[in-house]
Structure formats: structure tokens, C-alpha cells
Amino acid sequence: MSVDMNSQASDSNEEDFGADIASYYEGVASDVEQQSADSFDPEEYQFTCMTYKESQIMLTEEVNTVAAAMKVLPAVAKLILVHFHWQVSQILDRYKSNSSLLLSDALVQPSSTCRSVTAPQSLQCGVCLQVVRRDSLLALPCQHSFCKACWEQHCTVLVKDGMGVGISCMAQDCSLQMPEDFVLPLLPGEELKDKYRRYLFRDYVESHFQLQLCPGADCPIVIKVQEPRARRVQCSRCSEVFCFKCRQMYHAPTDCATIRKWLTKCADDSETANYISAHTKDCPKCNICIEKNGGCNHMGVFCLLTDFCWMCLGDWKTHGSEYYECSRYKENPDIVNQSQQAQAREALKKYLFYFERWENHNKSLQLEAQTYQRIQEKIQERVMNNLGTWIDWQYLHNAAKLLAKCRYTLQYTYPYAYYMESGPRKKLFEYQQAQLEAEIENLSWKVERADSYERGVVGGEGELSASDRGDLENQMHIAEQRRRTLLKDFHDT
């Protein structure tokens, strides 16, 4: 399996699920000082980033183990391993109990139920029907014989189409797999052979239950885990952050299948939802057009004596200290007894409810990224002017970073809630979601207030008081604990 992986191109065409979240997780947990030493982190996940050479050595060792135990060629052992997802112990156990069944299941040996084919008496190729010399006829263990030229064309076309593992016999209704030592001599030119080796390596890694290729562009790193789960991993070379299980953008607490359904639905219904994607809404009192210019949903305008919520335009005080009514969709219990048109309207109303909140938190992340950038620049300016060290101002940096981390998790709670069945568990989830949202909005409000202080917008330029700083750090701790509690209870384990 000798391959120059520097020339390997990314074969994936994943959608971009959102902004890069790599920096959200770097050093945040250790900076929240109030966390106890034994606090449980539901996102903790052990993984290793391997180079191509390291992963090749690992694969070769497993191939040699299976080949020696089953007394087959390494090329055949690779096909068996791919079929059974490289679970070596299970393969060897099955081989001991019924070796013939295992080989036929892996499509490297004809099954006993298949029509037996004897060695060909005719010198005619079964594809081009040309009469050829006997030494020009080639066959797999199924004994379906074809001329070398037809085999070459068959393999060349499939490899040019990007196929590695999976090239099978040309005979109709025969799925017997072609091992690499059968295919390689049939490929014309070293360039095509190198492509085939790269495709093989890709297929070997993608079929391995403990490995995933980094989805970063032109990145050769392979991620290895002990137990495959839908958890956050990050490439040590290109810093790409993704879900190990589906190789898409990290999406906790929503599982891989659900987030795929949600994103497909969002893409299909994008025109329907366009009208709610604008940044503006009408003031609930004077109907003047207002624009949201920060990440926090806690809004205030001059015409109102009380503040209001951006999402539902209701009085901010009515949201309560812990439970957001506007984050929970109120189902119509009688909808099943109404007309199909009414049910369709209700389904659209429900989707728009969750989509609006999903989109709102995505936009809040973008706005808060601007606040984070301002804080970074202000800290740098103060350090350069000898107005303290980086450590003196790091609490603001940590607060903005943690805010983004918490809001990112909150954004992905809405697809989770949209597809949940009604019942006690959904009520518990909505309660924890609302608690998390309330604490995130409180943290966002405090971070924006701190940013305003630092820019001299509120009460003159200067740092926050010791009590304000303590209040901000305490809010960081509360928000992170809410986030961890929700993930512990609802993230797929």
C-alpha cells in the first residue's frame, strides 16, 4: 500500500454546516475556575491523529494477522476486512465456526448456492466473443473467464470513475470481488495505478470502524478512536472540527441522522423561510422598523419603558428567570381531527417556529464573533500600552469564547426538539433547553455590557468593577453547567 498521500485530494463534498467552531473549545473548560475537579464532561472523547504512514502500518498489521490466521493472500484478507469493517476478532471467530460461509459472505469465494462454473472448454471471451489464446483468458475463483483486454477495459473505466474496493466480476449476477493484486497488473500506466492505490486506502479507512479521514481539503490525517461515536474531533494538522461518526460539522446534541434530515429540510424549504431571515422586525409598540445589532435577544428601544424579547416580541420580564416560553412550541392537541389543509398549515407553522430560532442563533453567533474580535483588539491594545498583562484581561476573552461555545450547542438543540416525540422526555428537554437559553442570554448581555465598558460606551472607558467581573465569571460557570447538563442527559451516548 505504498502511496504518496501529498497528492491525495479530498473526495468528500460535505455541506458547510456553519461557522468554524475550532476555537470555541480551546482552553475554555480549564478557564472556568468554578468547575469542580470531578465534573463530568459529556463531550470528552479520546482520539488520535495519525499520519498516512502511521495508519498504513496499523492497517498492514491487521491485514497480516487475518491473512496468517486464515491462510489467504493479503489482498484477499483486505477484502474480508473491508466487508466486516476491520473487526479482526469477530472475523477470526466467524472463520473458526464456518470458514466457507465467511468467505462467501465477504464475496471472495463463490457460495455453495451459486451455479457452479467449470473451467472453460471454449477459447471465446464471454464479453467481446472473440476467440483468443488460452493464456489470454483470466478468471476469478468463480471461473468466469474473459480476455485480458476486456478485464483491462473493465478495471480502467471503474478506477477512472473513482472506485477502489468494489470492482467485481464482469459476469451477470456475479458479485465476486476482485482483489487488488488481480486489478493492479491490468491498469495501464503508473498514474492510474497510483490513483487506484489512493482509492483503496480511502476505502480501507472509511470502512474501518475505528478510523475516519479528516474532511479538511487535501488533508492526509486519519483520526483513530477506540469506540466510534458521534463526538467532536479536531485534526491536528488543519484544525478541522467535525463529528467523528458522520464527518460533518459537529452537531451535539442532535444525532447524525436527525441533523441530515434537518439540513435537507432547510434546503428544500429555504424559499418558504426566506421572509423570516431578514434582520429587521417591527417594534411591538410603535411599529418602527428595528434591527438587531448584537447577539443577545434582550432588546430595548426608546419608545418602550420595558425591554422585550427579539424572538417573540413579548415583555422581557414575562420570560421569567429560568424558563423561556418562547423557546417551546405549543402543539395543537386537536390537530389530528382537523382537515389536511389545517394539518399542513400547522406543520409549516411548527417548522418555521424552530427554523427561526435555529437561524436566529446562527446570526447571533456571527454578531458575537464581532464582539469577540473587538475584545481581542482591545486586550491587545491595553497590553501594548502597559495597562496590564494578558492574564489581567483574559476573563473577557474567555467569556466571549464560552458564550460562542454555549450558543453553538443551543443552536443545535432546535433540530433535536423539532423531531422529538411529544411526552415527558420532550418536556424535560424543553425545560433544560429553556434554562440554557436563559443563562446564555444573561451571559451575552453581560459580555456586551463588558465590551461597551471597554469601548467607553457606558460610563466612560475603563475596566469593570471587581463585583461586575465576579458576576460575569459566575455567569460563565452557570451557563457552562447548564450546557453540560443538557448534553449529559440528551446527547447520544
Residues 30-64: tens digit of each pLDDT: 555 444 444 678 888 999 999 999 999 999 999 99
Q: What percent of the chain shows pLDDT beyond 70?
A: 75
Question: Which residue out of 142, 296, 309, 406 is catalytically annotated?
Answer: 296
Mean of all residue pLDDT scores within the chain: 81
- Going along the chain from its start, the domains and CATH numbers come out as 43-108+212-250 (no CATH), 122-209 (3.30.40.10), 256-450+466-491 (1.20.120.1750)
- For the stretch 327-351, pLDDT in tens is 677 777 777 767 787 788 888 888 9
Is the confidence at residue 10, as pLDDT, over 60? no
- For the stretch 61-99, pLDDT in tens is 999 999 999 999 999 999 999 999 999 999 999 999 999
Would you state the pLDDT for residue 325?
61
Would you state the pLDDT for residue 299?
52
Would you state the pLDDT for residue 276?
46
Would you state the pLDDT for residue 378?
85
Would you state the pLDDT for residue 427?
92
Is the confidence at residue 18, as pLDDT, over 70? no
More reliable by pLDDT, 98 or 6: 98
Is residue 454 very low, low, confident or very high in pLDDT (cuts 50, 70, 90)? low
More reliable by pLDDT, 131 or 420: 420
Interval 6-18 mean pLDDT: 39
Is the confidence at residue 200, as pLDDT, over 70? yes
296 is catalytic: yes
Its pTM stands at 0.78
More reliable by pLDDT, 250 or 493: 250
- For the stretch 356-414, pLDDT in tens is 899 999 998 998 888 888 888 888 888 888 887 888 888 888 999 999 999 999 999 99
Interval 100-109 mean pLDDT: 93
Upstream peptide bond of 284 is cis (omega within 30 degrees of 0): no
Window from 55-64, 381-390, 431-440, 474-483 with minimum mean pLDDT: 381-390
